[in-house]
C-alpha cells in the first residue's frame, strides 16, 4: 500500500512536460529501473490516446514485467495510468501538468500501488519507493536535456 505524491515546479511548459512523459517508448533511456518498454496497443479517439504498454523493471537479480493502460489527455495536460497485469495487486498513477504564473509548470505526480506477493513487496518495495520518488526528478532532468535549461516561451 505504498503511496507517493509530489508537486514539482519546473521551468518547462505544460505541453512540453506532457509530451515528455507521454513518450513512454523512451523511458528505458532515462527512467530509473526501467529496462524496457513495449507498446502492445495504441488507439486514438476524441483527441485522446489510449496505450497498453508492457514495462520491464529490473534491480540486481530481480526482474518483473507488468502491463498498464495509459490514457493520454493532451488538452487537459493529464496522464492516467491503470494497472492491467503483472506482479501488483493494483497500481494507480496520475500525472498533471499545470501552468505556473510567470512561466513553467507544476508537475503533479501521484502513485499508489501494492505487490501481490508479500515477499516481492519486501524485496522490491523499498527500491520501488526510492525509484518512484526519483521519477519526477528524472523527467525534469530529461526535459532540460531536450528543451534546454530554460524552455522556449518561458
Q: Please check whether residue 93 is in contact with residue 114, taking contact to mean a CB–CB distance below 8 angstroms.
A: no
| Mean pLDDT over each residue of the chain, to the nearest integer | 88
Which CATH superfamily hosts domain 3-147?
START domain (3.30.530.20)
Position 121 pLDDT exceeds 60: yes
- Name the residue ranges covered by the structural domains of the chain: 3-147
d(CA 99, CA 76): 11
CA distances to 3, 36, 68, 134 from 90, rounded to whole Å, are 12, 21, 10, 21
The pLDDT assigned to 21 comes to: 95
Q: Please check whether residue 138 is in contact with residue 32, taking contact to mean a CB–CB distance below 8 angstroms.
A: yes
78 sits in which H/E element: strand 78-85
| pLDDT tens-digit series, residues 60-116 | 777 889 999 999 999 999 999 999 999 889 999 999 999 999 999 999 999 888 888
Most confident of 64-73, 112-121, 128-137: 64-73
Amino acid at each position: 500500500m505504498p503511496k507517493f505524491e509530489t508537486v514539482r515546479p519546473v521551468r518547462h511548459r505544460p505541453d512540453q512536460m506532457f509530451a515528455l512523459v507521454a513518450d513512454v517508448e523512451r523511458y528505458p533511456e532515462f527512467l530509473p529501473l526501467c529496462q524496457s518498454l513495449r507498446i502492445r496497443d495504441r488507439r486514438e479517439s476524441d483527441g485522446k490516446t489510449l496505450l497498453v504498454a508492457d514495462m520491464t523493471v529490473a534491480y540486481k537479480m530481480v526482474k518483473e514485467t507488468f502491463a498498464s493502460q495509459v490514457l493520454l489527455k493532451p488538452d487537459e495536460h493529464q496522464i492516467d495510468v491503470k494497472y492491467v497485469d503483472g506482479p501488483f495487486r493494483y497500481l494507480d498513477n496520475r500525472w498533471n501538468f499545470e501552468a505556473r504564473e510567470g512561466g513553467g509548470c507544476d508537475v503533479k505526480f501521484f502513485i499508489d500501488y501494492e505487490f501481490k506477493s508479500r515477499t516481492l513487496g519486501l524485496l522490491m518495495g523499498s527500491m520501488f519507493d526510492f525509484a518512484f520518488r526519483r521519477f519526477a526528478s528524472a523527467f525534469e532532468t530529461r526535459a532540460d536535456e531536450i528543451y534546454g535549461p530554460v524552455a522556449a516561451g518561458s
